[in-house]
Each structure stands twice: as structure tokens, then as C-alpha cells.
Amino acid sequence: MTRQFSANLGFLWRELALPDAIRAAKASGFDAVECHWPYQEPVSEVQLALAETGLPILGLNTVRGDVAAGENGLSALIGRESEARAAIDQAVSHGWALGARHVHVMAGNAVGDGAHACFVENLSYACTVAAKKGMRVVIEPLNAHDAPGYFLRTTVQAANIIAEVGAGNLALMFDCYHVARSEGDVAGRLETLIPIIGHIQFAGVPDRGPPLAGRLDYRQVFNDISRFGYDGALGAEYRPTGGTEGSLGWMDVLR
């Protein structure tokens, strides 16, 4: 089979404005794009670039909050519910205007039962809002090396939350890099979780560089993903070494 790859424009072509990054992704052979926080870009210009290239945009994130203060999401923060829900409304509205398929609701830095309850309630709200637009909500565990203090740490925790919320449009964003750093058994977690996975991302381990560098064998990982029945685009969310174009040798090897 021919695999499809999505360019995460939060990491790739960061030196370009989002519309030009979309065009660069198309020129380099990507099948889709995804982004982090596109809210400063004129919607009409992003829409034009998507229309010109024919690339779908898979998803975007809710805002992090006060980045200067170290915030990394709002939805598990007790007492910040109104801000969290405003961020969800913003992401769903913006994503719908761009044709995005999902919204990643970021939990933020928190711990404890109260944070868990807060996150569950905000996710229930997000799923209701997104469902009205025909969109999915995803959540992503982040490893403690890159995101110390982040509430959602493991795929087990994420799976339990997805089951507790019980919404048909809530799914797991499985980042092979984060799972490898936190849990190690990427293939085993993929096989167990494939029924609830909505999107898969990848990067080299442990430095988050291009996927052919590092200890995780993506030839095997991608074969496992296909064998387990996932047929969606795979999101390239890695830090290029040098310019993005010069880092893309993996595409022909892994496609």
C-alpha cells in the first residue's frame, strides 16, 4: 500500500507563513497538513492555499493560555473553565472554517482528581460543540521530558478518560514519539488502542528529529500500523535538521 503523510506545520516550514507552508508541503509530496495554533493567519489566505493545493487540513490545537507563564493548555485547570471553553469554541469555529477534521483539546499542566474531573467536563463540552460541526475531538498524552507537569501523561490515562466521557467523536491522538519516550512499547500500545485512535504522529526517538534517525524503527512501526488496520494519514511532527526540504529523505523510504 502507498502510505499517506501529513505535514505538521507547527514544526515543518516554520519560517514560512502558513499559506506558503501549505504550498511547500504540496510541492514536497505531502498528502495533507495539520497545524498547532493558526489563529493569527488570515483565514481567507489559508483557505485559498488549501483550495489551490487540494490538501486537506487534518487538525489544530486549542490555545495554550499564557505561554510566557509556562501554560500548555487550559482544559484541566480548575477555575479556568470559561477560558477553556472559549478556547474550544475558537478552535472548533476556526477549524470548521478551514475544513479541519479534528480539534486537539490541550489539557494543560495540572494534577489530581479535581483536574481529572475538570478535563472530563470540558471534553464533554468540546465533543458536543464539535459534533454540531461534524468534527472530532482528540486528546494526546505528552511525555514528561518534553512537557513536564502536563496532565495527560500516558495512553492508559487517555483511554480511561475517553471511556469515561463516552462521546462517539472523542478519540486518541497517538504520537509514536511521545509514547516511545513515556511507555516504550509502541507496537503493543498501538495494537491495544487502535479502536480509539483518531490520528497518528511520528518523529525520531529520542531527539524528535527526522524519523529514520533514532532508535525507533519506523519501517516496522508503519508496517504494524497498517497490519492493525489504521489507514489514515500519518502526521510528520518532527524537528528538521537544517531546512525542511533537506530533511525529507525518509518519505520515499517509508511511503
- As annotated, the active-site residues are 140, 237
- Measured between alpha carbons, how far apart are the two ends of the chain, in Å? 8
Listed in order, strand segments (DSSP E) in the chain are 5-8, 32-34, 59-61, 102-104, 136-139, 170-175, 197-202, 234-236
Other C-beta atoms closer than 10 Å to the C-beta of 245 total 12
Query: Length of the chain in residues, anyone?
Result: 255
| Residue whose C-alpha is closest to residue 238's, from 202, 200, 195, 214 | 202
Strand, coil or helix: 125: helix
